[in-house]
Amino acid sequence: MDLHGGNIYKHLRESGRQMLDYSSNINPLGVSKNLKKQLRKNLDILTTYPDPYYIELRKSIANFNDINIENVIVGNGATEILFLFIRGIKPKNVLLVSPTFSEYERALKTVKAKISYFKVEEKKDFHIDVENLIEKLKKNNYDLIVMCNPNNPTGKFLELDRLKKLIDEVDRKKTLLFLDETFIEFIEKWREKTALNIKSKNVFIMRALTKFFAIPGLRLGYGLCTNENILKKMNSEKEPWSVNNFASMAASILLSDKEYIDKSYKWIKKEKKFLFNKLIKIKNIKVYETETNFILIKLLDRRAENLCKKMEERNILIRNASNFKFLNENYIRIAIKDRKNNKIFLKCFAQCLEVKE
Amino acid sequence: MDLHGGNIYKHLRESGRQMLDYSSNINPLGVSKNLKKQLRKNLDILTTYPDPYYIELRKSIANFNDINIENVIVGNGATEILFLFIRGIKPKNVLLVSPTFSEYERALKTVKAKISYFKVEEKKDFHIDVENLIEKLKKNNYDLIVMCNPNNPTGKFLELDRLKKLIDEVDRKKTLLFLDETFIEFIEKWREKTALNIKSKNVFIMRALTKFFAIPGLRLGYGLCTNENILKKMNSEKEPWSVNNFASMAASILLSDKEYIDKSYKWIKKEKKFLFNKLIKIKNIKVYETETNFILIKLLDRRAENLCKKMEERNILIRNASNFKFLNENYIRIAIKDRKNNKIFLKCFAQCLEVKE
């Protein structure tokens, strides 16, 4: 089983087939026309090294988030931001809100951190119980809490008032909170809901242009933080020129592309509802409500592995979610795409589930 | 002073001027037409994640170097390869053949390695004295030797027969040799001269497409090594998807672009000779012979800083080389470019040097 979704290459190599990829969570609108136009025009920017300080890039991101450029750090995808943070901070005792994205644990292992887990319960439909989480912080001395919001793979989002309570406790305990907000732009009115609205020196926010702007192949992530000390530690670990010139150029074009952004909001609102309402009518599965662009599903009568295989035979990739901590062999995660593909997916999914195991 | 050459952005920001950049060492032929054509055609590959195993990319590199795909590791520029190697190996006691590229030392500091230096002497015109180096290895217990060949900033190259002696001693002492060959393609008949011709499990070779193929803004480096254990350690530190899809696609196009490669050989042969022969006629400087696409120069009557400033006023960037270990305030490094620019450079350079300090 693959550690992550989206490995379409293996299938292309092994069977020569192009797959419909419901295993990775990318905006189906694809690469924006504006970006493509500018890329075509500016191919020669490859002949120069990137700006080692990425001033223009960081300015665009600072403007987009209405903060100072000093509070922005950029990376080769969110992944570099995560690894830089962990290598910079070198946490010893970490609480991981789980099930969640597996790279946090991989990054933490490179610095040999002790990892504890706060289990988000299935019986609460994977909603985070903030009161319990705060209790756990009070009783223990963690130097870092890692949380993904909205969370991958559960799709659940902790609203600002409840997040505020958590951050108050983080501030009181003088611990740190690493908050992965790489899927937040898919949430309606996300600007009112981001942790950026809560001023705290103990919070580090990770974002990416990967998912919302459909450029996972270009690699551009960033971090937002008002704690100079954290940024200084990260920069001391940072490799020069890690963001390529195309990615560096893309930010100002994409972040100001109102048309693409509006179209995306309309799409996600409509398709999330459509897909969810169709899915809940299918027997023998449990569908968890989502706040973002993917849906977690529990199979009640079969193993994820078997279903994934059946779907693959029909040229559709879905994410076997059984290797997420605290999930089991019955979980899958699917992306939300455009209407045409969602219909193809639904038809195939229903057919595969009709066949008794 | 900048840590590296090529920071044209600072000047563009501060004075609005486009500079002629003689401070970074990039093939003046620019981005190959074939690559540009394929990039324009394939902008939509950005919507998928890179292949986490980079099979096609590593195949192209393996073919180019006539080795097995298992012996190839790829990275976001040579820089990622360097940092992965150092983080993977975690050397404790390292010998750095100096003066050389400063990132080795920065990478070594992230793992708190003890660094010793083998000084390459100016009185020997910066040629490496292999016998002395071997003596030093015999007397000490280093777990890693780091060497750049051809060396930045001296332009000197250690030929295969002498490199063989060094590697024999490395093998005898069971230490490791990290060999940076990122400038080797500029050397005539480099395929007969690369360390790849010497079979040793203790040698790691670093390469890049950055310089020879003029794509420093795209970020693509690689490592060649037959030691599975080293590659395994590096992969355990590796962040997924660090090479973007355009860079990943570029390798097969560039490495098979015979026309671009042949044209580049012709250019470097001609312009190296032209620029060197003109430079040695200029008074009050010492010009060191080079095997690659940049030239180290010692100013005999003034400080590098003053000259760099004067050249900048005339819109030409040169590399103040005084922050390389064992060099002093009198050294500069310049790139070799095309005839038109070399003439502009020479005229301006001679003018600046004519003015008495």
C-alpha separations of B13 from A54, A170, A308 in Å: 12, 40, 52
Window B:153-182, CB contacts with A under 8 Å: none
Cross-chain residue pair A216–B39, CB shorter than 8 Å: no
Give the number of A-B residue pairs with CB atoms closer than 8 Å: 160
Chain B contact for A48, CB < 8 A? yes
Shortest distance between the Cα of B46 and any Cα of chain A, in A, equals 4
Tokens 């400063």 belong to B102
Give the DSSP H/E element, type plus range, for residue A234: helix A228-237
Residue A145 in this model has a pLDDT that exceeds 80? yes
Q: How confident is the model at residue B13 (pLDDT cuts 50, 70, 90)?
A: confident
Determine whether the interchain pair B7/A214 forms a contact, defined as Cβ–Cβ distance below 8 Å.
Answer: no
The answer to whether residue A33 neighbours chain B at the CB level (below 8 Å) is: no
Cβ-defined contact of B239 to A80 (cutoff 8 Å): yes
Total length of chain A: 357
CA distance B1 to chain A (A): 13
Name the phi and psi angles at B311, rounded to 5. -65, -40
- Strand A114-119 and strand A177-180: the pairing is unpaired
- Smallest CA–CA separation between A54 and chain B, in Å? 9
Residue at A288: amino acid letter: Y
Q: What are the tens digits of pLDDT across the range A334-353?
A: 999 999 999 999 999 999 99
Map residue A312 onto helix, strand or coil: helix
Nearest chain A residue to B51, by CA = A9
User: Among candidates A160, A55, A31, which has minimal Cα distance to B245?
Assistant: A31
Q: Which residues of A touch B241 (CB under 8 A)?
A: 77, 79, 216, 219
Question: Element (H or E) spanning B185, and its range?
Answer: none
B127, B119 Cβ separation under 8 angstroms: no
- CA torsion sign, A52 to A207 to A107 to A11? negative
Q: Could you tell me whether strands B285-287 and B221-224 are parallel, antiparallel, or unpaired per DSSP bridges?
A: unpaired
Distance CA B101, CA A176 (A): 36
Query: What is the three-class DSSP state of A178?
Result: strand
- Checking if the pLDDT of B6 tops 80, the result is no
Distance from CA of A9 to the nearest CA of B (A): 6
Q: A5-14, A307-316, B235-244: which range is least confident on average?
A: A5-14
- ipTM summary value: 0.93
Query: What integer pLDDT is reported at residue B155 of this predicted model?
Result: 97
Position B1 pLDDT exceeds 60 = no
Q: Which residues of A touch B103 (CB under 8 A)?
A: 240
Q: What is the DSSP letter of B20?
A: E
**Residue B18 — pLDDT band, cuts 50, 70, 90?**
confident
Could you give the angle at which helices B160-173 and B130-139 cross, rounded to 10 degrees?
Answer: 0
Average pLDDT of A29-38?
97
- Average pLDDT over chain B, rounded to an integer: 95
Which chain B residue's Cα is nearest to A6?
B49
What digits encode the pLDDT tens for the residues A63-91? Answer: 999 999 999 999 999 999 999 999 999 99
Query: Do A46 and B110 count as a contact with CB atoms less than 8 A apart?
Result: no
Residue B218 pLDDT level (bands cut at 50, 70, 90): very high
Q: What is the pLDDT of residues A280-290, one digit of tens each?
A: 999 999 999 99
Residue B122 confidence (pLDDT) above 90? yes
What three-state secondary structure class fits B142? coil
**What is the spatial distance between Cα A221 and Cα B225, in angstroms, rounded to a whole number?**
31
Q: Does the beta carbon of B39 lie under 8 angstroms from any beta carbon of chain A?
A: yes
Asked whether the predicted pLDDT for residue A2 surpasses 70, the reply is no
The residue among B46, B84, B103, B105 with the most chain A CBs within 10 A of its CB, best to mutate, is: B46
- pLDDT number for residue A3: 65
Q: How much is the pTM? A: 0.94
pLDDT band at A11 (very low <50, low <70, confident <90, very high): confident
Query: By three-state DSSP, how is residue B335 classified?
Result: strand
CB contact under 8 A, B53 and A9: yes
| Mean pLDDT across B121-148 | 97
Q: Assess whether pLDDT exceeds 90 at residue A15.
A: no
DSSP β-bridge partners for residue A222? A74, A207
Q: How much of chain B exceeds pLDDT 70, in percent? A: 99
